[in-house]
């Protein structure tokens, strides 16, 4: 059987690896994945407290300006009164 194959216009070559090379590549991949996981976890350990502290500081500084409006209990829905006029548009007959 030929080691070179053509599929979809691409030329592919089949390579046989020895078992110890496959295990080495698997171990390297697992090590890289573990390293990235540890880096992301460390980043979260730094960023989560910073964001929380920033949120608390913003709440303290901007808290008075962002208070929601209060309504009296039992007050009905707000009604805006006004005058209105209906303007009818004449329909043109064809």
CB of 12 within 8 A of CB of 21?
Answer: no
| pLDDT number for residue 39 | 97
CA distance 38 to 50: 19
pLDDT, mean over the chain: 81
24 belongs to a structural domain: yes
User: Could you read off the pLDDT of 48-86 as tens digits, one per residue?
Assistant: 999 999 999 988 888 766 556 666 666 666 667 778 888
73 belongs to a structural domain: no
Structural domain count of the chain: 1
80 belongs to a structural domain: no
DSSP string, 36-78: HHHHHHHHHHHHHHHHHHHHHHHHHHHTTTTPPP---TT----
48 belongs to a structural domain: yes
Domain of 11, in residue numbers:
4-62
pTM, two decimals, is 0.47
């Amino acid at each position: 059987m030929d080691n070179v194959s053509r599929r979809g216009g691409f030329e592919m070559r089949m390579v046989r690896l020895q078992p110890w090379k496959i295990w080495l590549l698997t171990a390297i991949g697992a090590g890289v994945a573990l390293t990235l996981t540890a880096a992301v976890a460390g980043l979260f350990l730094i960023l989560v407290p910073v964001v929380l502290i920033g949120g608390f500081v913003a709440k303290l500084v901007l808290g008075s300006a962002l208070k929601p409006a209060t309504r009296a209990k039992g007050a009905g829905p707000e009604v805006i009164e006004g005058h209105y006029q209906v303007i009818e548009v004449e329909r043109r007959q064809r």
